[in-house]
Amino acid sequence: MQTDLFGDASLFPSQQQLAEGVCLLSGQANSMMSAIWQAVEDVLRQAPLRQMQTPGGHTMSVAMSNCGELGWVSDRHGYRYSRLDPQSGRPWPAMPEVLQELARIWAAAAGFDNFVSNACLINCYQAGSKMSLHQDRDERDFAHPILTLSLGLPARFMLGGLQRKDPYRKLLLQHGDVLVFGGPARLCFHGIMPLADGEHALLGKRRISLTFRRA
């Protein structure tokens, strides 16, 4: 597995350093898309997408699932990581090897060596779905970066500062793009603007993101 990945030079495109600790790897996943998409479909057959509840009782517009040792969940009891899928009562599907290894390679390409993800959150957006500005603060150690792989329809990503009131910049994330943020940017507020309607050759009217974390 590792030999095959490192043998593909297209896995190491020139990176765009957007800010200190923020790196965009445009089209990073395209050369491995068939294997990636098969892995995602396998996970979702075991743990189907569902819309979770916020602690305040609202239904999220984004459908979610997880794979890995831990899965991110939200309900009336709060936001947290759980070893069990609350819908089935079983452990989350194991993270496919191809996803685990690619996340490590992408993190290293962005300057974060020895990253081992144990949680992959899968978000599915339809037209109008969004993710409000937020920080990822449910992890134990903020020394590890966050990686997000975009699949399907393009999305406008909001990247803010360390305070919710800070101005944010908009980044267009396309199919196959990988965004990595860590270090001084690890706790930056970020989110997704409402998804525009469209049609993608592989995912149809959807955008799916895979967010890799060390929980």
pLDDT in tens, 88-106: 999 999 999 999 999 999 9
Cα dihedral 49, 50, 55, 59, rounded to 10, equals: 130
Cα separation, 106 vs 64, in Å, equals: 23
Q: Is the pLDDT of residue 26 over 50?
A: yes
Full-model pTM? 0.91
Q: Is the pLDDT of residue 191 over 70?
A: yes
The predicted-structure confidence for 139-153, as pLDDT tens digits, reads as follows 988 989 999 999 999
Banded model confidence at residue 15, pLDDT cuts 50, 70, 90: confident
- Cα dihedral sign, 125-139-43-4: positive
pLDDT at 195: 98
Could you confirm whether domain 14-213 is CATH 2.60.120.590?
A: yes
Between residues 92 and 6, which one has the greater pLDDT? 92
The predicted-structure confidence for 154-172, as pLDDT tens digits, reads as follows 999 999 999 999 999 999 9
Banded model confidence at residue 14, pLDDT cuts 50, 70, 90: low
Share of the chain above pLDDT 70, in %: 93
